[in-house]
Amino acid sequence: MGTDAPYPELKKTHTMARTGRPWRDVKPPPSAPVWAVIQGYGNYWVLVAAIELGVFDALQATGPTAVAPLAERLGASPPHLAALLDALVVLGLLEQVRDVYSLNETAERYLTTDGPASMAGLVAVAPGPLDNWTRLADTVRTGHPATPIERDAAGFYGPLVRATYPTQFRVAMLTGFRIGWPRTPGAPRVLDVGAGAAPWSMALLAHHPRATAVVNDLPGVIGLAEEKAAALGVTHRVELRPGDFRALAFEPQAYDLVVLGHVCRTEGEQGAPVLIRRAFDALRPGGRLLLADYFPDNTRKFNPFGVLMGTTMMASTERGFCFTHERFQEWLEGAGFRPVRLLEPISYNQVFVATRPG
Ligand SMILES: C[S@@+](CC[C@H](N)C(=O)[O-])C[C@H]1O[C@@H](n2cnc3c(N)ncnc32)[C@H](O)[C@@H]1O
């Protein structure tokens, strides 16, 4: 290659891709963030397909395996399965040595059906109705998603709350230990609003033998809580209260603990503080509210998980968004709660513990 002409003239090695526009003395930024987004779409479907094919459960059963026997076991085309497995390796979801693939710790824990914190059922349902993503620009224009989850709330929430149960049970159990729940004197009463399959009530009842819980959810969902209570042998300590929590009246000053577990963000700016005030009214003086949600940090920049969960809410709910810690603190203190603490029993799962003053 000939000698380059001196800067700032255009030269063969001085293309935009290598060094930026000739009159700028800087390299252009990499396109990696854009590619990460483009490939993120495929990455999601790689994981959905792997779960649907049973890749993780099969590798759990077989241990480290070459592609051919795994393909036979799964009824898959070997070269296509190899391409899928290689993608899972680069995504950090499998181990590979040459032709042999095995589970890594992430896959064992989160992606096998019976993993201790299985998210296998969550992957397909967590983004919400898929057509809302392809029509996101319209939603941003009009302020209304094409298929809000509220249109078939029970149909959406049933699979979701089944899938989130293992994680939320762990969050609830650890929160209970952090606040000294097992040492609560007497027979404390819990109100679990929008309980889903009731991971919060189940964990709290499991760790306090005299506690009882009023468990609320929509009629089409509450059966899941009933199943869990039966499986845990606590049916006699649970009162099921089916119905729309916006319409139900809760007894004033009757509860030691009220749980708002991942219900505030779908209620939006107007509804969330109303739920918080109603929780305050239902608590006896000295009682506590556990409010779990996904919160962007106050600058909305440093917790991508919370910010992107807010985008998911915007894409698929009638009025849902995620709200910052500061916002929740205003609502909690505005309702009269003091003090207000924030716990993070497991990563990204934060819980406000707010006390109704005695
Ligand atoms: C994201 S899930 C959270 C479930 C559970 N509290 C947890 O923390 O895992 C939200 C729950 O609120 C319930 N829900 C939503 N709107 C409701 C309403 N208006 N009345 C009663 N339950 C409602 C849904 O059916 C769903 O089970």
Domains in the chain with CATH codes = 1-114 (1.10.10.10), 136-355 (3.40.50.150)
User: If you measure from the C-alpha of residue 332 to the centroid of ligand 1, how many angstroms do you get, rounded to a whole number?
Assistant: 20
Ligand 1: which residue has its CA nearest to atom 20? 244
User: If you measure from the C-alpha of residue 244 to the centroid of ligand 1, how many angstroms do you get, rounded to a whole number?
Assistant: 10
At 13 the pLDDT is: 55
Ligand 1: which residue has its CA nearest to atom 7? 261
At 161 the pLDDT is: 97
Pocket residues: Cβ below 6 A from ligand 1: 153, 157, 161, 164, 168, 194-196, 199-200, 216-218, 221, 244-246, 261-263, 292
* Predicted confidence (pLDDT) at residue 151 exceeds the cutoff of 60: yes
Ligand 1: which residue has its CA nearest to atom 15? 194
Reported confidence tier of residue 25, pLDDT bands at 50, 70, 90: low
Q: Identify the bridge partners of residue 232 per DSSP, sorted by sequence position.
A: none
User: If you measure from the C-alpha of residue 196 to the centroid of ligand 1, how many angstroms do you get, rounded to a whole number?
Assistant: 5
User: If you measure from the C-alpha of residue 226 to the centroid of ligand 1, how many angstroms do you get, rounded to a whole number?
Assistant: 15
Structure tokens at 107: 């896959």
* Predicted confidence (pLDDT) at residue 24 exceeds the cutoff of 80: no
- Mean pLDDT to the nearest integer, 11-18: 56
Q: Report which ligand 1 atom has the smallest distance to the Cα of 220.
A: 25
Say which residue the tokens 């992430």 belong to: 106
- Mean pLDDT to the nearest integer, 1-6: 45
Q: How far is CA 96 from CA 52, 85, 224, in A?
A: 21, 9, 39
User: If you measure from the C-alpha of residue 260 to the centroid of ligand 1, how many angstroms do you get, rounded to a whole number?
Assistant: 9
Ligand 1: which residue has its CA nearest to atom 9? 168
- Mean pLDDT to the nearest integer, 24-34: 76
Model confidence pLDDT, tens digit, residues 157-196: 999 999 999 999 999 999 999 999 999 999 999 999 999 9
* Predicted confidence (pLDDT) at residue 48 exceeds the cutoff of 60: yes
User: If you measure from the C-alpha of residue 121 to the centroid of ligand 1, how many angstroms do you get, rounded to a whole number?
Assistant: 17
Ligand 1: which residue has its CA nearest to atom 13? 194
At 12 the pLDDT is: 52
Choose one of 157, 164, 170 to mutate for the ligand 1 pocket test, by most ligand atoms within 8 angstroms of C-beta: 157
At 19 the pLDDT is: 57
Neighbours of 242 (CB within 10 A): 16
* Predicted confidence (pLDDT) at residue 11 exceeds the cutoff of 70: no
* Separation of alpha carbons 221 and 219, rounded Å: 6
* Separation of alpha carbons 147 and 160, rounded Å: 16
User: If you measure from the C-alpha of residue 266 to the centroid of ligand 1, how many angstroms do you get, rounded to a whole number?
Assistant: 9
- Mean pLDDT to the nearest integer, 76-92: 98
At 20 the pLDDT is: 58
* Predicted confidence (pLDDT) at residue 147 exceeds the cutoff of 90: yes
* Predicted confidence (pLDDT) at residue 84 exceeds the cutoff of 50: yes
pLDDT averaged over every residue in the chain: 94
